[in-house]
Amino acid sequence: DYLSPSSLVPFQTTPTTFGDLRAANGHSAQRRRVTSGPPPSGLQDWLHTFQAWSGPERLLALDDLIDSCESNQVKHMMQVIEPQFQRDFISLLPKELALYVLTFLEPRDLMHAAQTCSYWRILAEDNLLWREKCREQGIEEPLVVKRRETLKPGFLHSPWKSAYVQQHHIESNWRTGDITSPKCLRTLVGHTGGVWSSQMSGNMVISGSTDRTLKVWDAESGECVYTLYGHTSTFDGVYVVSGSLDTSIRVWDVETGGCVHTLTGHQSLTSGMELKNNILVSGNADSTVRVWDIRTGQCLHTLQGPHKHQSAVTCLQFSRSLVVSSSDDGTVKLWSLATGEWLRDLVALQSGGSGGVVWRIRASNTRLVAAVGSRNGTEETKLMVLDFDLTDNHK
């Protein structure tokens, strides 16, 4: 941890003359002369007289001296004076205090600071400094460990900085990255019925279908690793909240079995829910997605507007900042969790509106898996995999 300012020793003296200022900047008190030739007669006597005057008297003398100078002589004075006030305060500070000052910079500003000079680069890539920036963004150490194994040698000085840059790159791809055909790495084909659920863990994709099978896929190769038979119903998850036939959502206390809140607002059957901490996101057959605070029972946002789904919501998932939802209309939409604002369409099937459906979605930090198909044969049953962890060289 960094030291607080109160525990650090202040500078001993404040520079009073140009010689003192140069010494404080780490230079010789005698500057290099830019003019040549012998000094004028009487110069030393004039300097002794000048030094004997009081401060106000010196200022008056300098005012008259400047008024009597030609333009090239004033320019010469500026060339001598200005560099003396261009002090690198960060390099003059003890390292602990310099790092403390840099903690107040935003990550983007730290990136710029690292380009100033070699010493600033060392400071701006301090591992503890970037650890704090990662913690502010909720980036955990497991991601750092993973990236240590995959980064090219010498790419970044700090493993925590590497983790922050990687996370920023991934989130940027989610928000604005290219989602055309090069992003669809694999199409996983094998189910003979509708795919109603999917899960993702690491490099494995798990899909459940109405054909009563559960398939385990390798997302890298696209191969089906296992097929599990004998499921008598569609694979589904278990929630601490429940959707009812009366269109309400109930929040239950699992210890007492009591109903804590009844959430109302949807106009039809609940088609999907996800709960993290106190935030619940629910999708509905009325084509809307709602964000709730289960501690208060309040609806924080209704995800709708001109870009809303045009048919029933089939599945959803959310992270600390984003919500992803799929629909009967053949689209997968990205929303802001904080504001409820529509950000973009991640998938838009050409057959959407005429039978094409996105049945289920599942997302990790770097990938989105969408199970698509149709009720009338207009769209092949398949899994679409979008990768948001591609560098520019692999796009």
Which domains, ranges and CATH numbers included, belong to the chain? 181-394 (2.130.10.10)
pLDDT at 5 over 70: no
Question: Which comes out higher in pLDDT, residue 110 or 176?
Answer: 110
What's the CA angle centered on 284, arms 280 and 285, to 5 degrees? Answer: 175
Question: Which comes out higher in pLDDT, residue 300 or 157?
Answer: 300
By mean pLDDT, which of 231-240, 242-251, 384-393 is the weakest? Answer: 231-240
> Using an 8 Å Cβ cutoff, are 352 and 333 in contact?
no
d(Cα 287, Cα 303) in Å, to the nearest integer?
Answer: 9
| Packed helices 141-150 and 159-176: angle between N→C axes, nearest 10 degrees | 100
d(Cα 309, Cα 315) in Å, to the nearest integer?
Answer: 12
The DSSP string of 289-356 is: EEEEETTTTEEEEEE-STTS-SS-EEEEEE-SSEEEEEETTSEEEEEETTT--EEEEEEE-TTBTTTE
Q: 3-state DSSP call for residue 282?
A: strand
Question: Which comes out higher in pLDDT, residue 19 or 54?
Answer: 54
pLDDT, position 24: 56
pLDDT, position 54: 93
Q: How confident is the model at residue 229 (pLDDT cuts 50, 70, 90)?
A: low
pLDDT over 90, % of the chain: 30
d(Cα 342, Cα 335) in Å, to the nearest integer?
Answer: 5
d(Cα 343, Cα 174) in Å, to the nearest integer?
Answer: 10
Q: Could you read off the pLDDT of 345-384 as tens digits, one per residue?
A: 999 998 888 889 999 999 998 899 999 998 888 888 999 9
Question: Which comes out higher in pLDDT, residue 206 or 146?
Answer: 206
d(Cα 367, Cα 363) in Å, to the nearest integer?
Answer: 6
By mean pLDDT, which of 75-84, 113-122, 155-164, 346-355 is the weakest? Answer: 155-164
Quick count: other Cβ atoms within 10 Å of Cβ 87?
14
pLDDT at 7 over 50: no
Tokens for 260, please give them. Answer: 């804590």
- HSE-CB for 249 with a 13 A CA cutoff: 31
pLDDT, position 390: 72
Q: Could you report how far apart the first and last alpha carbons of the chain are, in Å?
A: 40
Tokens for 289, please give them. Answer: 């997605």
Q: Could you read off the pLDDT of 83-110 as tens digits, one per residue?
A: 777 777 788 788 899 899 999 999 999 9
Mean pLDDT, the chain, integer:
80
> Using an 8 Å Cβ cutoff, are 214 and 227 in contact?
yes
Calculate mean pLDDT across residues 315-320: 93
| Packed helices 159-176 and 127-136: angle between N→C axes, nearest 10 degrees | 40
pLDDT at 244 over 70: no
DSSP 162: H
